[in-house]
Amino acid sequence: MSLAAEAFVSQIAAAEPWPENATLYQPLKEDQILLSDCASSLAVQAYLRMCGLPVQVVGRANAEYMSPSGKIPFIHVGKQVVSELGPIVQFTKAKGHSLSDGLDDVQRAEMKAYMELVNNMLLTAELYIQWCDNATAAEISRPRYSSPYSRPLSYILAYQKQWEVRRKMNAIGWGGKTLEQVYEDVSQCCQALSQRLGTQPYFFNKQPTELDALVFGHLFTILTTPLTNTELAERIKSYSNLLSFCRRIEQTYFEDKSS
Amino acid sequence: MATPDELFCWEGDWGLPSVSTDCLVVLEISIISVGLKSQDQTTVEEKAYAQFAGAPLKLRKMSNPWRSPSGSLPALRIHQKETLSRPSDIIIHLRKQKYNADYDLSAKEGADSLAFISLMEEKLMPALIYVFWIEPKNYVDVTRRWYAEHMPFPLNFFLPGRMQRRQMEKLRLLRGDESLEAGEEVEKELYHDAVECMNLLSQRLGSQKFFFGDSPSSLDAYVFGHLAPILKSKLPNGKLQQHLKSLDNLTNFCTNILLLYFPRDGRENSNQKPLVQHDSGDFDHVPNKRRKQFLSALVALGAMVSYALLTGMVSIQHIQQEALEEPPDLQAIEEEGDG
């Protein structure tokens, strides 16, 4: 979203309260959505639940093409459409819902830094495993990604996406990495998150922030999504405080509503 | 003892030891952790070297990426054989050799530095690419000019352009926008992110000398590598520089590291500043004289040969015909001999 549009949106947003019929769009849950999209979507859902803002999750086969930035997920609130966690956090803030107001400057700097750590390492690792590991790409990513489309188009779209992600990996210097190195990076990232979390219930003690939502979205999705092998989930399972962190957020924000 | 590892870097200017962010990061980390053995060694470096007398690095500054063993800079050549070109690989290699710039950090500080390095890669790096390679005035007046003046003769015509296309491609992929061009909107968004990132770094640094107390770590090297080029270069469009200069603690942090670890480069610059532009003409003559002579001889020879081929000497056809005719004759003779 451009800055001008952003400023405009936040002006209008401030005027209107959060409506009852807010909708979050993501690809089809059962047979289309991929690990990385599912993680990003879950992070936004967790964030909105932490803010106490109701949202209805809707699956659409063409969600990627509906999104203003081409990224999953996006929310449709009143007359506005906002995509990705960062802009959504700003959007809710303009409406008067914020989780990070209680932090001081240094803490806010650290929170932003750790959020970029998750984006830079976990999200990139998910994309790498999805599209650059040949077994995963052939067995899971390409068939699932193109499932709503018929034969010739499905091939074209899936390979186009794979080609795009691989070019991105080359550009950021991940192209030459082996799968083992990527798992190492994931471990390093989890190690850092685990150290930062320590024995606290949330990253900044008692109150959850958008960082908690983002970390939960990624870790919970990795833990619960079956892949060609379980190595990725195993790497996370060795950090017990991260596991109990995921369980805590799941119980606090997700179970009471579903039951 | 085995031959020392060699580190290849872009040469410096504007009072910096190197003009490339990646090279600056790698240089600074190696100095902190190993201590470099180079011609322009200085007291601090010597001290560092004395502490880690094990296997020092040899520093090679150059302005021709094709002379680096990997074809790009920075690069680290290990024992004359293996070559590493990604900064992260070089740092991991140093770490494996027990040269760890983060040796003194606690686990939590290590986690913090990883997080802030990611922050810079996501928020500051795209803006850096934009400032130096995409912004038309900066690119034409400063970046392209610098590389064209410093690279040897035939490369300076096409390598700067190719480097720019690569950076453009990288920025497009990072932003997920295939049709990204230089423009006010993109500039605003990138600068917004970069300014936010600088503010966050400034808040984190506070009034400390380094990010984690009194001794430098790899995070300091990353911050220095990303901010120093913005601070020291003389760009026509200097919005980021202006903002950086308003953050006193970050500015002091950069000048401090320059004084502590690269005193030579800082001093050279302050003495040479007025000379640089006058000298650049003579500068080129001396080091590349041989190569230029050789190349012009090669070009002349090429011209003569092609002229000769185009006009008179069509001997190639003759040879080909003979070659085609000969084998059957030989076979016939051999068969005769057998029979």
Helices (H), chain B: 21-33, 43-51, 87-96, 107-119, 125-129, 136-138, 144-150, 155-175, 184-205, 218-232, 239-246, 248-261, 263-285, 289-311, 315-338
Average pLDDT over chain B, rounded to an integer: 75
- Answer yes or no: is B320 within a domain: no
- Answer yes or no: is B186 within a domain: yes
- Answer yes or no: do A109 and B201 touch at CB < 8 A: yes
- Answer yes or no: is A99 within a domain: no
Does A56 share its domain with A179?
Answer: no
Residue A164 belongs to domain with CATH number: 1.20.1050.10
Of B122, B173, B204, nearest to A109 by CB-CB distance is B204
- Answer yes or no: do A193 and B111 touch at CB < 8 A: yes
Domains identified in chain A, total number = 2
Q: Which residue has the higher pLDDT, B332 or A169?
A: A169
A178 touches chain B (CB under 8 A): no
User: Containing domain of residue B33, as a range?
Assistant: 5-272
**Tens digit of each residue's pLDDT (9 = 90 or more) over A154-212:** 999 999 999 989 988 988 888 888 899 899 999 989 999 999 898 899 998 888 999 99
- Determine the pLDDT at residue B70: 75
Domain end among A31, A63, A94: A94
Helices (H), A16-77: 35-51, 63-66
- Answer yes or no: do A192 and B111 touch at CB < 8 A: yes
**A217 pLDDT band (50/70/90 cuts)?**
very high
Contacts of B198 in chain A (CB under 8 A): none
Domain end among A60, A94, A128: A94
Over residues B206-232, the mean pLDDT reads: 85
Domains identified in chain B, total number = 1
- Determine the pLDDT at residue A126: 92
A247 touches chain B (CB under 8 A): no
- Answer yes or no: is B301 within a domain: no
A244 touches chain B (CB under 8 A): no
Does A141 share its domain with A234?
Answer: yes
- Answer yes or no: is A164 within a domain: yes
Q: Search chain A and give the residue with CA nearest B166.
A: A171
Contacts of B204 in chain A (CB under 8 A): 106, 109-110, 113
Check whether A5 has a pLDDT greater than 80.
no
Does A26 share its domain with A83?
Answer: yes
Return all residues near A172 (Cβ < 8 A) that are at least 6 apart: A124, B170, B173, B174
Q: Which residue has the higher pLDDT, B285 or B322?
A: B322
- Answer yes or no: is B31 within a domain: yes
- Answer yes or no: do A196 and B88 touch at CB < 8 A: no
**B55 pLDDT band (50/70/90 cuts)?**
very low
Of B108, B118, B170, nearest to A117 by CB-CB distance is B118
User: Containing domain of residue A34, as a range?
Assistant: 3-94
Distance CA B237, CA B182 (A): 13
- Using DSSP's 3-state secondary structure scheme, residue A100 falls into coil
Does A73 share its domain with A115?
Answer: no
Contacts of B203 in chain A (CB under 8 A): 105-106, 108-109
B208 touches chain A (CB under 8 A): no
Check whether B328 has a pLDDT greater than 70.
no
Mutate to test the interface with B, among A40, A72, A104, A110 (most CBs of B within 10 A): A110
A196 touches chain B (CB under 8 A): yes
Does A146 share its domain with A250?
Answer: yes
- Answer yes or no: is A100 within a domain: no
Q: Å from A3 to nearest chain B CA?
A: 6
Check whether B239 has a pLDDT greater than 70.
yes
Check whether B224 has a pLDDT greater than 70.
yes
* Out of A167-176, B5-14, B44-53, B302-311, least confident range: B44-53
Distance CA B146, CA B139 (A): 9
Contacts of A69 in chain B (CB under 8 A): 176
Over residues B113-122, the mean pLDDT reads: 89
- Determine the pLDDT at residue A221: 93
- Answer yes or no: do A2 and B189 touch at CB < 8 A: yes
Contacts of B123 in chain A (CB under 8 A): 116
Q: Search chain B and give the residue with CA nearest A174.
A: B86
Check whether B109 has a pLDDT greater than 80.
yes
**What residue type is B274 in one-letter code?**
P
A3 touches chain B (CB under 8 A): yes
**B274 pLDDT band (50/70/90 cuts)?**
very low
**Tens digit of each residue's pLDDT (9 = 90 or more) over A166-181:** 988 988 888 888 899 8
**For residues B64 and B152, is the Cβ–Cβ distance under 8 A?**
yes
- Determine the pLDDT at residue A8: 61
- Answer yes or no: do B189 and A3 touch at CB < 8 A: yes
Distance CA B223, CA B253 (A): 9
Domain end among A39, A61, A94: A94
State what percent of residues in chain B have pLDDT above 90.
Answer: 5
**B44 pLDDT band (50/70/90 cuts)?**
very low
Over residues A131-160, the mean pLDDT reads: 91
Over residues B40-45, the mean pLDDT reads: 44
Over residues B49-59, the mean pLDDT reads: 50
Does A67 share its domain with A131?
Answer: no
- Determine the pLDDT at residue B320: 53
- Determine the pLDDT at residue B319: 56
Residue A48 belongs to domain with CATH number: 3.40.30
Q: Å from A7 to nearest chain B CA?
A: 12
- Determine the pLDDT at residue B102: 73
- Answer yes or no: is A179 within a domain: yes
Residue B92 belongs to domain with CATH number: 1.20.1050.130
Six-digit token string for B86: 């990604």
Polymer length of chain B: 339
- Answer yes or no: is A78 within a domain: yes
Mutate to test the interface with B, among A67, A105, A112, A203 (most CBs of B within 10 A): A112
Check whether B40 has a pLDDT greater than 50.
no
* Segment (H or E) for B78: strand B75-78
Does A82 share its domain with A147?
Answer: no
Does A121 share its domain with A224?
Answer: yes
- Answer yes or no: do A116 and B88 touch at CB < 8 A: no
Check whether B206 has a pLDDT greater than 50.
yes
* Out of A213-222, B40-49, B139-148, B319-328, least confident range: B40-49
Check whether B28 has a pLDDT greater than 80.
no
Distance CA A143, CA A151 (A): 11
**Tens digit of each residue's pLDDT (9 = 90 or more) over A74-113:** 999 888 899 889 889 988 888 888 888 888 888 888 899 9
**A118 pLDDT band (50/70/90 cuts)?**
very high
Does A127 share its domain with A71?
Answer: no
* Out of B107-111, B206-210, B286-290, least confident range: B286-290
Contacts of B105 in chain A (CB under 8 A): none
Q: Which residue has the higher pLDDT, B78 or B198?
A: B198
Does A118 share its domain with A81?
Answer: no
Distance CA B114, CA A198 (A): 16
Does A65 share its domain with A118?
Answer: no
Count of Cβ atoms closer than 10 Å to residue B84 Cβ = 22
- Answer yes or no: is B308 within a domain: no
- Answer yes or no: is B291 within a domain: no
- Answer yes or no: do A110 and B204 touch at CB < 8 A: yes
B212 touches chain A (CB under 8 A): no
- Answer yes or no: do A112 and B119 touch at CB < 8 A: yes
Contacts of A119 in chain B (CB under 8 A): 118, 122
**For residues B34 and B6, is the Cβ–Cβ distance under 8 A?**
no
Strand-pairing partners, residue B83, are B77
Strand order in the sheet with B36-37: B36-37, B57-62, B5-10, B75-78, B82-84
- Determine the pLDDT at residue A39: 93
State what percent of residues in chain B have pLDDT above 70.
Answer: 75
- Answer yes or no: do A3 and B188 touch at CB < 8 A: yes
- Answer yes or no: is B313 within a domain: no
Q: Å from A153 to nearest chain B CA?
A: 21
Burial of B187 from C-beta contacts in 10 A (0-12 / 13-18 / 19+): middle
- Answer yes or no: do A171 and B174 touch at CB < 8 A: yes
The verdict on ipTM greater than 0.95 is no
Mutate to test the interface with B, among A103, A122, A168, A195 (most CBs of B within 10 A): A195
Of A106, A112, A196, nearest to B111 by CB-CB distance is A196
- Nearest CA among B67, B1, B55, B3 for reference residue B30: B55
Over residues A16-42, the mean pLDDT reads: 89
Average pLDDT over chain A, rounded to an integer: 87
Q: Which residue has the tokens 């798992």?
A: A183
- Answer yes or no: is B85 within a domain: yes
Count of Cβ atoms closer than 10 Å to residue B184 Cβ = 7
Does A116 share its domain with A238?
Answer: yes
Check whether A36 has a pLDDT greater than 50.
yes
